[in-house]
Structure 1
Amino acid sequence: MMQYTVSKAAVKKATARLGLSKAQAQNVLPKYAQGASFVWTLDSTSGSQSVFDNPREHVRLVIAENGTILDVFPADYALQSPHALSDHVLQSLKEATRNALIAKRDAVHRKWCEVEVEFHSNSYEIARRRLALIEAAGDEELRIKRRLAQLC
């Protein structure tokens, strides 16, 4: 089990946001971290940080790689105001949303390109078969008409 330490900033935020005293925050926040589950990773200039949720206590924590609790707020805190989030969390949310939208756009565009290529190759084959139908006779004509029916 990982041992967590609490930063002074996290204690201040816990007193303001959760209504805990300083002593309570020092004791309770590591327990919240023990019961929390990983949500996503924050890429910051000061090192790797991760966001954890403790659904039982309705708390979200930002924890550094070394086990220091850096930020804490109620789970629905982000819904109250975007100004309530720390700059690191807000920037990470923006980047994650942007990257997800770009990935979705690229996937849709790839699929659209595949459909376009298939459509044009199908159109090309139809044109070739119609041209061959002009000169065909008998069984060859019947075979080309069947293939055209399949393509159309």
Structure 2
Amino acid sequence: MNKYSVSKSAVKTAIARLGLTKTQAQNVLPKYAQGAAFVWSLDSTSGSQAVYDNYNERVRLVITENGTVLDVFPIDYALQSPHNLSEEVCQSLKESTKKTLIAKRDEIHRKWCEAELAFHENSYEIAKVRFGLIDANIEEAAALSSRLADLCADNKELHQDRSALRKERTELERALVPYI
């Protein structure tokens, strides 16, 4: 679990934008960062920064590479007030965000399907090797056992990959909910 710190400006913006007290902001912002999902990277002169969304709390955070929360605002901050953007711009922004999220979700889904297929192909190979071990002599059994160990290690990695992709796809689907 990453350790997050909070900048003074993030505390001030949390007070103004989220209606928190100073103490609440200092305590809650690291928790928001813990539950946040990566959205996109920002290039800046002060180092690497990225935007993260905490969908449960409906906040967007700007976090540095070293784990400092620099800024915070509601996910739909630009859309909250009619004074911020015109209706046409709001609709355009919502549509483009929706299309982008759908495209990213579909890309991740395709990768997940490929990982799922590779996992099951590897599982099939494991089953074939185990079946071969039943009637193998001692020399063949040693070679098959070595092959089985390699396949099982590969299977573990493939399982972790497909689980990570499934988690990422689920997060993208949750992000899509407000736009549907």
TM-score range, shorter chain: 0.5 to 0.7
Q: Counterpart of 1:47? A: 47
Q: Counterpart of 2:75? A: 75
Structure that is richer in helix per residue: 2
TM-score, normalization by structure 1: 0.53
After TM superposition, where is structure 1 displaced by more than 6 Å over at least 4 residues in a row?
none
After the TM superposition, which residues 2-151 of structure 1 pair with which residues of structure 2 at under 5 Å, given as runs?
2-80=2-80
TM-score, normalization by structure 2: 0.45
For this pair of structures, how many residues does the alignment match?
Answer: 86
| Offset at residue 45 of structure 1 (A) | 0.8
Q: Which structure 2 segments of 5+ residues have no match?
A: 85-99, 101-180
| Offset at residue 13 of structure 1 (A) | 0.1
| Offset at residue 79 of structure 1 (A) | 2.2
| Offset at residue 41 of structure 1 (A) | 0.2
What SS does the aligned partner of 1:20 have?
A: coil
| Offset at residue 80 of structure 1 (A) | 3.7
Identity of aligned residues (%): 76
One-letter amino acid matched to 1:24: Q
One-letter amino acid matched to 1:30: P
**In 2, distance between residues paired with 1:26 and 1:78?**
24
Q: Which structure 1 segments of 5+ residues have no match?
A: 85-99, 101-152
